[in-house]
Every structure is written in C-alpha cells, then in structure tokens.
Amino acid sequence: VTYSSLIHGFCKAGLVEQGLKVFNEMLLEGGKSKPDLVTYNILFSGLCNSNDISQAIDLLNCMLDQGCDPDTYTCDIFLRALRDKVDPAQDGKEFLDEFILRLGKRKRWVAASSILQFMLQKLLPPKACTWEIVLKQCCKQKVVVAAIEDCWKDLFH
C-alpha cells in the first residue's frame, strides 16, 4: 500500500520516472511488496498520460510476466490514450485483439474472455481469428454455451 501510494503521488505530480523507480524497487524486493492490479493501473495511467505509450506497453508485458491480469479499467486507460495521445488517433481494436491472443498463449483464458467482453461492450468487434481461439478454448473447457450466452447478453444489454 505504501509503495502504491508513493507511485500514485509521483504520477499525479507528473513525476512518472520517480514512480517507475519506486515500482522497480517493489519488483526487486520480491514477495514482500509485490505490485498488484491497482499499482499497475496507477503506473499505466501515469505513463499513458505522459504520452509514453511504448513504455506503457512494456509495463503491460511486465504485468503479464508477473502473473497479474489486466482488467477493463486497464483497457479503458489504454483506449483513452490511443484516442487522445496518439496521432493519428486509433480505436485500439488491433491492440486488444493482439492482447487477447497474448493472454491466450499464456493460458490466461479468464482474462482473455474478459477483454473480449470489454471489446464487445465498446463495439470493437474482434477479428475472426481471435474469436476462433477463444471459442476453441471454451469448447475444450466445455463452457461454450455459457460463453456464447454471456457474449450475446453483454452485446445486447
């Protein structure tokens, strides 16, 4: 909590590099002070707000490597950055498609399906290959009917 508060303060003051230093200290300490989703989102938001999209993507990869799955707030931060900070503006569809595939390669299917639902809610239809991979995994886990019902429910409600 202390590290996250420090990182939040630095990022809010525009001192994202200082926030990154504190974050790296957390990683070096290992099990004592492991960054959680809130910590990653604070730093991710700070990087995106300071127009450092490439470093934000690096942080996202670090997040996955550390076993921390992104949530819809993480995706929202990134979509806002792509829309507001990148020239020309992008809708983020390609990034989210690739992100789902990366999560799938890491066997993180719950997070992948969460991002897929997020895309549907934002009216960003995934590529056919993304659908195929997620649905194949659902079929393997025998949850295809529930997955399809969830997708349709989220899409039309």
Residue 157 pLDDT class (50, 70, 90 cuts)? low
25 or 156, which is more confident: 25
Residues 56 and 97 in one domain: no
Task: Name which of 132, 142, 144, 97 is nearest 118 in CA terms.
Answer: 97
pLDDT of 147: 65
Residue 85 covered by a domain = no
Q: In sequence order, what are the residues at sequence separation of 6 or more whose Cβ sits closer than 8 angstroms to the Cβ of residue 44?
A: 56, 59, 60, 63, 74, 77, 78
How far is Cα 106 from Cα 137, in angstroms, rounded to an integer? 12
What confidence score (pLDDT) does residue 142 get?
A: 62
Please compute the mean of the pLDDT values over residues 11-25 and round it to a whole number: 95
Residue 80 covered by a domain? no
**Domain closes at, from 48, 63, 78:** 63
The tally of domains found in the chain comes to 2
Does 69 map to a domain?
Answer: no
* Residue 68 in domain: no
Distance CA 1, CA 105 (A): 31
In a domain? residue 76:
no
pLDDT at 69: 87
Domain assignment present for 153? yes
pLDDT at 144: 61
| Residue 116, in any domain of the structure | yes
Output the CA–CA distances (angstroms, integers) from residue 87 to 57, 109, 136, in the order listed. Answer: 17, 32, 36
Domain interval for residue 138: 91-157
- The average confidence (pLDDT) of the chain is 84
Residue 141 has pLDDT above 80, yes or no: no
CB contact set of 135 (below 8 Å; sequence gap of 6+): 144, 147
Which range has highest mean pLDDT (45-49, 107-111, 147-151)?
Answer: 45-49
In-domain check, residue 122: yes
Q: Where are the beta strands (DSSP E) in 29-127?
A: none
Residue 154: the pLDDT is: 67
What pLDDT score does 48 carry? 92
Encoded amino acid at 17, one letter: E
Same domain, 101 and 51: no
> What is the C-alpha R_g of the chain?
17
- pLDDT for residue 143: 60
pLDDT of residue 134: 80
Residue 39 has pLDDT above 80, yes or no: yes
Residues 3 and 59 in one domain: yes
